[in-house]
């Protein structure tokens, strides 16, 4: 109102003078003084139908005589209030308590710790079964549930400022159907919210102790964070139940120990379900005839089968609890719960019921505990730790190179030592003599041309060299390849794939330690970055700066998903030193033309679990079409390696074809599915798909791909 008056004054028209005079007369003629008073400011916010982002947060929760009441607010990503929510939107609420659980086995009571128990449950009868019902055991099952605000006319209250109140329809004071749930005011309780709009989804939870109202220093069961999941999963792939459930806390309080899938008969308890899913194709069950596959299966709505026996869990070895149960700074309060030796649930989820012929039941904790363990067993932390101990010890070891030069015949020669955590050399009896060192040059480009020095000739076994027992040093000679004529100034590298031997862990093994190699030991790679140097004359130039290779993949991301092992040569992810762009093709009768590329890019993109847009298990919970899953921020920029030429097999004849740099990058994913229109587009823009040689491609190629296909554009079309 004030701004309007100022505008009127600024205009200074005769009409404004008359208007002001009249208003003065009116005020002086018995007016009550309210005319012209500023109105109440309306709420500042964005309408719920207009917001593209939404976040929910509980601000208060209470329970009185079993009636649960909560307050919450909605905001967009910029912190602006979201207005206009009503019961007809798809908003649902859940309520659960964290209660102590015991289990009685053969008359003895066992403490199973604190577990979430939902107050809202339904009894579900088996519905439609899939055509293949193998391994399914239909039976009625309880399922935890949530309640929809739309089922109550006055439960949801809009405070008209972006804040809302909700009163639960379920009274929790005396729940007897279909399960008896005893309310405990001193137990931690959790309310959950899930709001699904057409354009956005919000989840929220709130934990508190009803007897005191406390939210701090209360009992918790927060074991993992969603960020641990995002190490391997793309965020959007974990939007489940039609995309409406995106928060782990909501999942955990609904997937309770009493919840099951009626069509399969399998438990959907969160702990059991997650471990069973990730055991994937390796899950087995013991029978009188031996171990047989026992894939974890769930039947969804409409009889759709989710067969997790197709899952290839990338963590190798899969015994690394810390891959999900991350401890340390920023860890959830109960990240170490897997060490508590309370529940068998996770054990039988992975190892299945009666996991071997030597076990009579599934009361795992009787023997597998830290305080009263059966000899030769140990608890989960010990047993899983035994599997990993060799990798932990080997990672502290090192490989060092020295005396790099030429022998009398001009062949590369160098010394190598394997050292322990203290830097002392390790004797040969502990080192796998069949393991190798790989030599390469032009590391800043695309490694040696395959025609000049195939990788098989650049690998040198320790057993092929000489060994000085006094100094515990190997001298290796590169007798199967020649140095390039223009070696001076080139960046070389020596990449170790050397492995050290350890005893096998298992029943009766007190400690996993480095052990003299034999048929009864296993060998583990000593992880060491490639040693790089610049060649000068007859040896290295100690003062020269090595040339840097363009940044393509982030090996830490690979390590996060794959842990200690990937395929072979498990010292990091230097695969391209052997799997060069021009490496020979490999026969595969299932591939169009019968020959497929063996370049690192092709093998990585096509690998099961990586290539899920068209191939792989086609799981909805892992979307690996986002380039950023593996690549660095600039790792998908085109046009940076114009000299690179790829070798592929023709998809009709299998004959070698040579492909230009950017086109070959795209073919590493898309060759099998490349249409005539796609091929024409590539060739029209200077790409070569039918080269007869490396020189032919380099002569004709004039790629302009990077003009349109920027990293931003590539990410947008690949799900990123």
pLDDT digits (tens, 9 = 90+) for 599-608: 999 998 887 7
Of the listed ranges 335-349, 391-405, 422-436, the least confidently predicted one is 335-349
- pLDDT at residue number 623: 55
User: In whole angstroms, what is the distance from residue 585 CA to residue 595 CA?
Assistant: 6
pLDDT digits (tens, 9 = 90+) for 360-378: 777 888 888 888 777 777 8
pLDDT digits (tens, 9 = 90+) for 606-647: 877 676 555 555 555 665 557 887 888 889 999 999 999 999
Query: Is the pLDDT at 429 greater than 50, yes or no?
Result: yes
Query: Is the pLDDT at 4 greater than 50, yes or no?
Result: no
User: Residue 519: which pLDDT band, with cuts at 50, 70 and 90?
Assistant: very high
User: Residue 22: which pLDDT band, with cuts at 50, 70 and 90?
Assistant: very low
Query: Is the pLDDT at 558 greater than 50, yes or no?
Result: yes
User: In whole angstroms, what is the distance from residue 347 CA to residue 353 CA?
Assistant: 9
pLDDT digits (tens, 9 = 90+) for 106-158: 888 989 999 999 999 999 999 999 998 999 999 999 999 999 999 999 999 99
Residue 5 Cα to chain centre, angstroms: 60
Terminal-to-terminal C-alpha distance of the chain: 48
User: In whole angstroms, what is the distance from residue 277 CA to residue 297 CA?
Assistant: 8
- pLDDT at residue number 15: 33
User: In whole angstroms, what is the distance from residue 192 CA to residue 421 CA?
Assistant: 49
Average pLDDT over residues 218-241: 89
- What percent of the chain stands above pLDDT 90? 67
pLDDT digits (tens, 9 = 90+) for 477-486: 999 999 999 9
Query: Is the pLDDT at 592 greater than 80, yes or no?
Result: yes
Query: Is the pLDDT at 256 greater than 90, yes or no?
Result: yes
- pLDDT at residue number 507: 74
CA distances from 123 to 118, 120, 140, 141, 338 (A): 13, 11, 7, 6, 31
Give yes or no for a contact between 398 and 417, defined as CB atoms under 8 angstroms apart: no
What DSSP string describes 256-268? -TT-B-TTT--B-
At 277, is the secondary structure helix, strand, or coil? helix
Give yes or no for a contact between 575 and 604, defined as CB atoms under 8 angstroms apart: yes
- pLDDT at residue number 525: 95
pLDDT digits (tens, 9 = 90+) for 393-426: 999 999 999 999 999 999 999 999 999 999 999 9
Q: How many other C-beta atoms are found inside a 10 Å radius of the C-beta of residue 152?
A: 14
- pLDDT at residue number 21: 38
User: Residue 35: which pLDDT band, with cuts at 50, 70 and 90?
Assistant: low
The C-alpha R_g of the chain, in whole angstroms, comes to: 33
Average pLDDT over residues 215-220: 97
Average pLDDT over residues 549-577: 85
Residue with tokens 């019961």: 87
In this structure, are strands 82-83 and 46-47 parallel, antiparallel, or unpaired? parallel
What DSSP string describes 396-419? T-EEEEEEEEE-TTS-EEEEEEEE
Average pLDDT over residues 703-711: 95
- pLDDT at residue number 646: 98
User: Residue 40: which pLDDT band, with cuts at 50, 70 and 90?
Assistant: low
Query: Is the pLDDT at 221 greater than 80, yes or no?
Result: yes
In this structure, are strands 90-105 and 82-83 parallel, antiparallel, or unpaired? unpaired
Of the listed ranges 196-210, 496-510, 670-684, 692-706, the least confidently predicted one is 496-510
- pLDDT at residue number 615: 52
Largest CA distance in the chain: 119
410 closest CA partner among 473, 494, 477: 477
- pLDDT at residue number 2: 31
- pLDDT at residue number 588: 96
Average pLDDT over residues 33-62: 85
- pLDDT at residue number 490: 97
User: Residue 500: which pLDDT band, with cuts at 50, 70 and 90?
Assistant: very high
Average pLDDT over residues 521-539: 95
Query: Is the pLDDT at 9 greater than 70, yes or no?
Result: no
User: In whole angstroms, what is the distance from residue 152 CA to residue 70 CA?
Assistant: 15
User: Residue 385: which pLDDT band, with cuts at 50, 70 and 90?
Assistant: confident
Record the tokens describing residue 427, joined without a space.
């004797």
Residue with the bigger pLDDT between 557 and 258: it is 258
Average pLDDT over residues 93-97: 98
User: Residue 232: which pLDDT band, with cuts at 50, 70 and 90?
Assistant: confident
- pLDDT at residue number 613: 52
Q: Give the CA count within 13 Å in the CB-facing half-sphere of 12.
A: 1
pTM over 0.85: no
Query: Is the pLDDT at 487 greater than 80, yes or no?
Result: yes
Burial class from Cβ neighbours inside 10 Å (0-12, 13-18, 19+) for residue 213 reads: exposed
Record the tokens describing residue 177, joined without a space.
């159907």
Q: What are phi and psi of 349, to 5 degrees?
A: -65, -45
Give yes or no for a contact between 658 and 584, defined as CB atoms under 8 angstroms apart: no
Q: Which residues contact 354 (CB under 8 A, 6 or more apart)?
A: 285, 286, 360, 361, 362
Query: Is the pLDDT at 502 greater than 90, yes or no?
Result: yes
């Amino acid at each position: 109102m004030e701004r309007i008056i100022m505008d009127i004054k600024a205009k200074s028209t005769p009409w404004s003078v008359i208007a002001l005079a009249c208003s003065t007369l009116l005020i002086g003629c018995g007016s009550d003084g309210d005319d012209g008073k500023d109105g109440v400011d309306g709420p500042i916010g964005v309408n719920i139908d207009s917001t593209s982002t939404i976040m929910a947060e509980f601000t208060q929760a209470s329970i009185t005589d079993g009636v649960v009441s909560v307050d919450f607010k909605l905001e967009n990503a910029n912190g602006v209030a979201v207005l206009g929510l009503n019961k007809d939107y798809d908003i649902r609420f859940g309520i659960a308590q964290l209660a102590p659980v015991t289990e009685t086995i053969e008359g003895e009571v066992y403490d199973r710790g604190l577990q979430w128990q939902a107050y809202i449950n339904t009894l579900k009868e088996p519905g439609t079964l899939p055509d293949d019902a193998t391994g399914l055991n239909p039976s009625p099952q309880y399922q935890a549930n949530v309640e929809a605000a739309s089922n109550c006319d006055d439960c949801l209250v809009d405070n008209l400022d972006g804040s809302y109140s909700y009163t639960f329809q379920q009274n929790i004071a005396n729940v007897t159907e279909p399960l008896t749930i005893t309310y405990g005011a001193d137990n931690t309780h959790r309310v959950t919210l899930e709001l699904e709009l057409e354009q956005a989804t919000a989840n929220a939870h709130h934990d508190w102790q009803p007897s005191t109202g406390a939210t701090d220093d209360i009992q918790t069961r927060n074991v993992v964070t969603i960020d641990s999941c995002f190490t391997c999963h793309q965020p959007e792939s974990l939007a489940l139940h039609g995309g409406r459930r995106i928060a782990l806390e909501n999942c955990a309080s609904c997937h309770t120990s009493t919840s099951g899938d009626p069509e399969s008969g399998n438990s959907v308890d969160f702990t059991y379900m997650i471990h069973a899913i990730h055991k994937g194709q390796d899950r087995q069950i013991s029978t009188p005839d031996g171990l047989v596959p026992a894939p974890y299966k769930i039947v969804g709505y409409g009889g759709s089968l989710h067969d997790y026996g197709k899952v290839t869990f990338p963590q190798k070895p899969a015994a690394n609890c810390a891959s999900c149960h991350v401890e340390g700074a920023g860890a959830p309060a109960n990240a170490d719960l897997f060490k508590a030796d309370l529940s068998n649930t996770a054990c039988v989820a992975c190892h299945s019921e009666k996991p071997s012929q030597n076990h009579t039941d599934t009361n795992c904790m009787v023997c597998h505990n830290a305080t009263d363990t059966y000899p030769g067993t140990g608890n989960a932390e010990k047993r899983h730790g035994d599997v990993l101990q060799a990798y932990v010890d080997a990672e502290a070891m090192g490989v060092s190179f020295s005396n790099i030069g030429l022998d009398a015949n001009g062949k590369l020669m160098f010394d190598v030592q394997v050292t322990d955590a203290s830097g002392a050399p390790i004797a040969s009896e502990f080192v796998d003599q069949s393991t190798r060192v790989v030599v390469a040059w032009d590391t800043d480009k695309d490694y040696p041309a395959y025609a000049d020095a195939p990788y098989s000739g650049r690998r040198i076994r320790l057993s092929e060299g000489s060994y000085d027992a006094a100094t515990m040093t190997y001298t290796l000679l590169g007798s199967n390849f020649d140095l390039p004529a223009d070696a001076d100034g080139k960046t070389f590298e020596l990449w170790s794939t050397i492995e050290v031997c350890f005893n096998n862990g298992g029943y009766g093994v007190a400690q996993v330690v480095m052990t003299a190699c034999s048929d009864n030991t296993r060998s583990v790679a000593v992880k060491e970055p490639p040693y790089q140097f610049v060649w000068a004359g007859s040896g290295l130039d100690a003062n020269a700066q090595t040339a840097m290779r363009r940044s393509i993949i982030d090996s830490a991301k690979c390590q996060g998903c794959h842990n200690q092992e990937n395929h072979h040569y498990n010292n990091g992810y230097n695969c391209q030193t052997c799997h060069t762009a021009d490496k020979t093709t490999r026969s595969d009768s299932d591939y169009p033309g019968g020959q497929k590329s063996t370049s690192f890019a092709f093998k990585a993109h096509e690998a099961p679990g990586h290539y899920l847009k068209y191939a792989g298990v086609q799981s909805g919970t892992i979307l690996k079409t986002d380039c950023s899953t593996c690549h660095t921020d600039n790792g998908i920029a085109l046009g940076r390696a114009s000299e690179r030429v790829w070798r592929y097999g023709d998809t009709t004849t299998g004959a070698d074809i040579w492909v230009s740099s950017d086109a070959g990058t795209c073919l590493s994913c898309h060759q099998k599915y490349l249409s005539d229109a796609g091929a024409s587009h590539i060739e029209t823009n200077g790409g070569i798909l039918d080269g007869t040689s490396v020189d032919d491609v380099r002569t004709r190629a004039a790629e302009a791909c990077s003009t349109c296909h920027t990293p931003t554009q590539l990410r947008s079309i690949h799900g990123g």
